[in-house]
Structure formats: C-alpha cells, structure tokens
Amino acid sequence: MASMNVVPLIDILLVLLIIFMVITPLTPKGLEALVPQPSHDVKPNPEVKVVVLQVLENNHLKINDEMATWDNLGEQLTNIFKLRAEKVAFVKGDDTVGICCRGSGN
C-alpha cells in the first residue's frame, strides 16, 4: 500500500513558522498618537452643577449659598441657566416656611 511522505510538508510548515516569527516583531503594535498633556498653570474652575434655591425664614432667598432677593430672582436664574444644557433647579425650604399652592383659576 502506498503512503504519503509528510516530511516535505513538515519542512514547509517549519519554514513558514520561522518566517512568521521573524516578521511579527517588525509589525507596528499600534498607532502613534500624541496625547495632549494638561497644563499645570491653569487651575480648573469647578463649576457648580446643581442649582439650589433655598427659601429661608423671614422671606430671604439663597441661590447656591449666595444671598438673593425676590426682585432680581428671575434675572439671576436666567444668568445661571443661560449657558447650561441641563435646566434643573432644586427648591429647599426651611421648616418654618409655609407652603402656599396657587391654582390656575379654574
């Protein structure tokens, strides 16, 4: 019975293995990228993301721990929300402040 000679096949596989082992270290491992480094001179300005409108006793107001008045409340909130994408404000009231609900007139 005739059998196939596998020695030439193994020789070819060993040559291919050696070729791939030599070529592999020469291939680039990734893309060269220049990553920007943060500058140490400029301090980041921590922007307060949460807006808290606090109603204190004696009808006083605070917006994020800064005193405010009822007269310029709309203007201050407009300035705060002018450049923000998220227009959310939280209202916090003291325990002594009463809550009054107004209807739509119906």
How confident is the prediction along the chain (106 residues), in pLDDT tens digits per residue? 778 888 999 999 999 999 999 888 776 777 778 888 887 776 655 565 788 989 888 888 999 888 888 898 889 889 888 888 888 889 888 888 777 766 555 5
Give the domain ranges of the chain.
51-93
What is the C-alpha to C-alpha distance for residues 88 and 17, in angstroms, rounded to an integer?
Answer: 63
- C-alpha–C-alpha distance, residues 97 and 71, integer Å: 19
pLDDT at 4: 83
* Cα–Cα distance, 86 to 77 (Å, whole number): 13
How far apart (Å, rounded) are the C-alpha atoms in residues 89 and 92? 10
Predicted pLDDT at 15: 96
pLDDT of residue 3: 83
Q: What is the pLDDT of residue 42?
A: 63
